[in-house]
Amino acid sequence: MSEINWYVVRAVSGQEKKIKSYIENEAIRRKLNELVPTILIPSEKITEVRNGKKRVREKSFFPGYILINADLNNGEVLHMIKSMPGVIGFLGRNNGTSMTPEPLRQSEINRILGVQEEVIGEVISPSLSFTKGENVKVIDGPFSGFDGTVEEINEDKKKLSVSVKIFGRSTPVELGYVQVEKM
């Protein structure tokens, strides 16, 4: 009888994608792919600006961990996963380094998959508006805790140019709407 559950595999951090492809390819090669239907690396897409260029990259929610939906009662599947290069073990009761897999509860899986499927993005309330010359307090980022004055407003990008006093000098800083609050 096949009992497919979700398990957490500990892997060498930064090599999750490589290990995922190793397991997928090995399962196909050994004709065990129906016993390992899904391998997931929970991640989110992050947009960064580097050297003036916008680029999208994926960031793992749980670095060093891979979720596997598999039937580990089959000894061959269990051995295949344990023997993969880069696999440290299964998340379990022995301080998290158990080689005996322990399935995740359905509530945990629903929460992780819900976060994975949720559209990640800043939610900006439409009632949030600023005016030039308004005093604001920075609540996020490297200038958190500083007070400043709104100099420019970019409605399209939801960004503000805020003049912040640092070491007695006014310095313009570009911040998102969610990084400041009205005073």
pLDDT per position as a tens digit, 148-163: 999 999 888 888 999 9
Per-residue pLDDT tens digits for 74-86: 889 989 998 999 9
Q: Which of 141, 165, 145 is nearest to 177 (CA)?
A: 141
User: β-pairing, 87-90 with 43-50?
Assistant: unpaired
User: How far is residue 153 from each of residues 18, 150, 158, 161, 175, measured CA to CA in Å?
Assistant: 44, 7, 8, 6, 10
Model pTM? 0.58
Say which residue, 76 or 140, is predicted with more confidence. 76
Q: Which two tokens stand for residue 89?
A: 């073990």
Backbone phi, then psi, for 103, in 5-degree steps? -70, 150
